[in-house]
Amino acid sequence: MITYDAVTQVMEHTNLTHVISFHGTPLPGDVWGWGIRPHYLIHYVTHGQGLLEIGGSSYPLSAGQAFLIRPYHLVRYSSCADNPITYWWVEWRGEGSDQLVDAMGFDQDHPVLTFRSSTEVLAAMDLLERAQDGSLADNLERKGELYRLMSCFLRNSMRADHADVKD
């Protein structure tokens, strides 16, 4: 469980910036990687099946799960040929990101998490994707929606209640 000190640490030392978000369906059997990304990414799977490969391990992917890609980690992920994956993803950077993804329950042994409810997560991702016209008002809205999405991930992660947050 997240302690009061950990909550204070995250709240006082978090400054996230949205980079991009998107949703789509790769071609059946499509593969991304081996590659690295310079920012954090969370892919939320809505349909189909796929596979994540990271750190010498493989993780099956299915609807209701999300997978995390940390900056500068070598990864590959793919879509099944007979049941293509569909996902939403968000890419961000910023101070406090490690503490947030730790609080969600992501760690080296758990780069894939299952979520309790897709409705709230998908609604937040949809709002985030809509707010991308580049104006100052839009950028402020996108920043707020990114924080809303992070709170949805925290509320809906099956491991968030048991995650330890590093000081």
Residues with Cβ within 8 Å of 103's Cβ and at least 6 positions away in sequence, in order, are 2, 6, 10, 154, 160, 163, 165
Amino acid 137: pLDDT = 84
Ranges of residues in the chain with a pLDDT under 70 are 1-13, 131-132, 160-167
Amino acid 75: pLDDT = 97
How many other CB atoms are found less than 10 A from the CB of residue 91? Answer: 17
Q: Which two tokens stand for residue 164?
A: 């330890």
Amino acid 10: pLDDT = 62
Cβ(120)–Cβ(153) under 8 Å?
no
Residue written as tokens 């809205």? 141
Cβ(131)–Cβ(145) under 8 Å?
yes
